[in-house]
Amino acid sequence: MDDNMGNPAGDVLAGVGPRLRALRQARSATLAALATETGLTASTLSRLENGKLRPTLEQLLPLARAHGVPLDDLVAAPPTGDPRVHLRPVRRSGLVMVPLTRRAGGIQAYKVIYPPAGQAPTMHLQTHEGYEWFYVLNGHVRFALGEQEFRLGVGVAAEFDTRTPHWIGSADSRPAELLALFGPQGERAHLAPSRH
């Protein structure tokens, strides 16, 4: 007989392992990389994903943070009927990124706030797998793409293949605000821990 029958907490926790594995695989992250990101061991992560270890709150919190999903998504809490996305800003390398979507995987939407020019890390072009789209909501953006450089104002959108070296930042003394869409590879590149 199933130990979880008639036990709502057991029913909820039984599905955590497959969700954790799906979230990690959607990000193309290894157990070792996720272990470094969360402070949990790769062995613990493997046992959680396989259902051989019952998850604790202390384990689920860093996993939710690493995957960029609410804790409710990990445990499949019953829906509340509330469609609002609860905005939780993430700060990385001088940027403020506000997730505007709450489902895991696929295209993710963010409001990104770039600090005023001169207050951000030096311009360092980066590449990663994926495709990115952004729309300037406020301020002016300095956008370097390959050997070209653009100054974009409010109401201008840009889209590009992220395998082309690129960099985005504020073009003047005010912060720049963008609406950005990118897939798992782009999300991982933008939310990766700072190399500084």
Q: What are the pLDDT digits (tens) for 113-160?
A: 999 987 766 678 888 888 889 999 999 999 999 999 999 999 999 999
Query: Can you give the pTM of this predicted structure?
Result: 0.57
Q: What tokens were used for 10? A: 């057991």
Task: Out of 10-24, 71-85, 117-131, pick the least confident.
Answer: 71-85
CA angle 51, 101, 196 (to 5 degrees): 80
- The answer to which of 8-17, 49-58, 61-70, 96-105 has the lowest mean pLDDT is 8-17
Is 189's pLDDT higher than 80? no
Over residues 156-180, mean pLDDT? 93
